[in-house]
Amino acid sequence: MPKETMSSRERWLAVLQRKKPDRVPMDYWATAEATDRLCKYLGCDFDEALRRLHIDIPLPVWGHYVGPKPPEGQDIWGLKHRAINYGTGTYYEVANAPLGEYTSVEEIERNYRWPTVDDWDFSHIPDRVKGKEDRPVRGGQCEPFLLYCQLRGLERAFQDLVEYPEIVEYCLGKLFDLAYESTRRIFEIIPGRVTFCYVAEDLGSQRGLLMSKEHIKRFLFPGMKRMIDLAHSAGVYVFHHDDGAIRDIIPDLIELGIDILNPIQWRLPGMDREGLKRDFGDKLIFHGGVDNQVTLPFGTPADVRREVEENLAILGAGGGYILAPCHNIQSVSPPENVVAMYEAGYELGWS
């Protein structure tokens, strides 16, 4: 095996800057249960697992909440959560909709306190990154429609796009403003240290978009563009996570200025790897691509290795690829398959 000549940070930056890394960078996304299974399988803690598998995991930074204490049983948004065991894993689902009953912006303004950026303290961040210059840093993020769906209730949130557009614009405006100010403070407190900013929204289903392009452009693109411009003004790349079959809006996302597209669910309509690489490979860095619905949970280690090899050959042709699962590895995925993914990436991913 060739000798590594780059740190994880240098490896990520080489790909982002369209330069040649020593090998393909590899990222890790998983539920806590899947991580526990992996560590038990390897007989080590998580840090040692990352080292053994040669994973180039970014260092996330964020503010610490110091605002008013929420009522018992609620988070800072007024959301209540309950643990639901699905048999293969336990997930904490939202159990209420704090804004679900309101029918006007005025009602929300009278009855709801929006968190502000001053509810977070960012002073610890320089110490968090100190001595970790070898790692890429993820700082700043937004995914406002996801939170809006929780605050209003999923069905109500989508109905709002037609019935109460003024509520959508008002609430998303509040959420985008908070994300912008929080992200700006992170950039300012560790200037030049953040590698990428997370600008996300799940706009795709298994078949196509979850809402019309007109609604996406009206309600989400202006705030996303503001976040993207903020990141670029600070020399920070934009990581765009967007589940599902989103082929129809990829050209629009490129026009907004995203740099990295995740998670690449290549089995879905319009998301085939060859087409994405052919049409967008000179404009986007692809992140993910190892199938998390079929291959990782139900394939064999040989299936996983084959898929990694295909991803490197297709998505990684000429560069522009960061190997990772397409979203969080679930507890049903055998740890043998997880190990196979990273071992194949390390063995086959050398430049």
State pLDDT tens for residues 111-147.
Answer: 999 999 999 999 999 999 999 999 999 999 999 999 9
Residue keyed to tokens 């300012």: 188
* Angle CA 132–13–257, to nearest 5: 120
Which of 87-107 are b and which e, b meaning 16 or more Cβ less than 10 Å from the residue's Cβ?
eeeeeeebeebbbeebeeeee
Q: What is the DSSP letter of 325?
A: E
Q: pLDDT-derived band of residue 1, with 50, 70 and 90 as boundaries?
A: confident
Position 244 in a domain: yes
CB 283 within 8 A of CB 261: no
Q: pLDDT-derived band of residue 85, with 50, 70 and 90 as boundaries?
A: confident
The H or E element spanning position 252 is helix 250-256
Tell me: pLDDT of 86 over 90: no
Position 171 in a domain: yes
Tell me: pLDDT of 295 over 90: yes
219-236 confidence digits (pLDDT tens): 999 999 999 999 999 999
Tell me the two tokens of residue 233.
């003004």
pLDDT of residue 303: 98
pLDDT of residue 91: 85
Please tell me the distance from the alpha carbon of residue 84 to that of residue 140, in angstroms, as a whole number: 29
Q: pLDDT-derived band of residue 92, with 50, 70 and 90 as boundaries?
A: confident
Position 70 in a domain: no
- Say which residues have a Cβ less than 8 Å from residue 197's Cβ, sequence separation at least 6: 138, 139, 140, 141, 183, 227, 230, 231, 236, 237, 238, 239
pLDDT of residue 93: 93
pLDDT of residue 88: 77
Position 317 in a domain: yes
DSSP 55-98: ----EEE-PEE-SPPPPTT--TTS--EEEEE-SS-EEEEE---T
Domain CATH number, residue 208: 3.20.20.210
Please tell me the distance from the alpha carbon of residue 219 to that of residue 225, in angstroms, as a whole number: 11
Position 86 in a domain: no
- Say which residues have a Cβ less than 8 Å from residue 12's Cβ, sequence separation at least 6: 25, 56, 58, 136, 195, 322
Q: What is the DSSP letter of 323?
A: E
Q: What is the pTM of this model?
A: 0.97
In the chain, the number of structural domains is: 1
Biggest alpha carbon–alpha carbon distance for the chain: 64
197-206 confidence digits (pLDDT tens): 999 999 999 9
Q: Considering the chain, what is the average pLDDT of its residues?
A: 97
Q: What is the DSSP letter of 119?
A: G
Q: What is the DSSP letter of 173?
A: H
Tell me: pLDDT of 67 over 90: yes
Position 125 in a domain: no
pLDDT of residue 309: 98
Q: Which domain holds residue 206?
A: 10-61+136-348
pLDDT-above-70 percentage for the chain: 100
Position 289 in a domain: yes
Q: pLDDT-derived band of residue 90, with 50, 70 and 90 as boundaries?
A: confident
Residue 22 Cα to chain centre, angstroms: 25
The H or E element spanning position 241 is strand 237-241
| Mean pLDDT score, 256-268 | 98
Position 18 in a domain: yes
